Structure 1
Amino acid sequence: MPPPAPEDAAPSPSSPSSELSERDRAVLAMERRGWPGPGAKERAIREGLGISPTRYYQLLGALLDDPRAAAHDPVTVNRLRRLRTTHRARR
């Protein structure tokens, strides 16, 4: 039997579970919110999710490629995918 995955590891898209973890749903919910000013989102990430903003954006990037995330919140995921594509094209 393989060892359990670390708690902060993002589930792979080929994972047998068809639902997102509570943390993954919280990351998507964080992206749906509006932010009043600089630093507010980073503070909310640290306080609300208990992870660093760097780790948050790593998890978010993996979620954008996860079909379960698109099924859970297609509007947010598709918006973020468009932004990612735009940002990559500018580079």
Structure 2
Amino acid sequence: MDPATLSDHDRAVLDIARRQWAGPGAKERAIRERLGISPARYYQLLNALLDDPSALAHDPITVNRLRAIRDARREHR
């Protein structure tokens, strides 16, 4: 799929996921301010994006890193 099929909102979700955040609450503040959604909704959207081929094409490093973390957590349970 073409990465252009991702919405601006989807790209913003991935941009937040890509960054390293300093200090407690910084990421949550950015989610609310930049995306206008709750952190819980952000993580729901992010999880769906991890399975989207367009997201993988747009940012393979971030998507593959987060998929590995998600898979490790699933195996641990």
| Length-normalised TM-score, structure 2 | 0.92
**What percent identity do the matched residue pairs reach?**
69
How many Å separate the matches in 2 of 1:32 and 1:69? 12
Could you tell me which runs of 5 or more consecutive residues in structure 2 were left unpaired when the two chains were aligned. Answer: none
Could you tell me which runs of 5 or more consecutive residues in structure 1 were left unpaired when the two chains were aligned. Answer: 1-12
Is residue 67 of structure 2 the alignment partner of residue 81 of structure 1? Answer: yes
**What code does the residue aligned with 2:46 have?**
L
- 1:14-37 Cα offsets, whole Å, 9 max, x none, are xxxx61000000000001111002
RMSD: 1.6
Shift of 1:89: 1.1
- 1:24-73 Cα offsets, whole Å, 9 max, x none, are 00000001111002211011100111000011000000000000000110
**What code does the residue aligned with 1:40 have?**
A
CA radius of gyration, larger in: 1
| Length-normalised TM-score, structure 1 | 0.78
Q: Which residue of structure 2 aligns with residue 9 of structure 1?
A: none
**What code does the residue aligned with 1:48 have?**
R
How many Å separate the matches in 1 of 2:14 and 2:60? 10
**What code does the residue aligned with 1:85 have?**
D
Paired residues in the alignment total 76
Greater fraction helix: 2
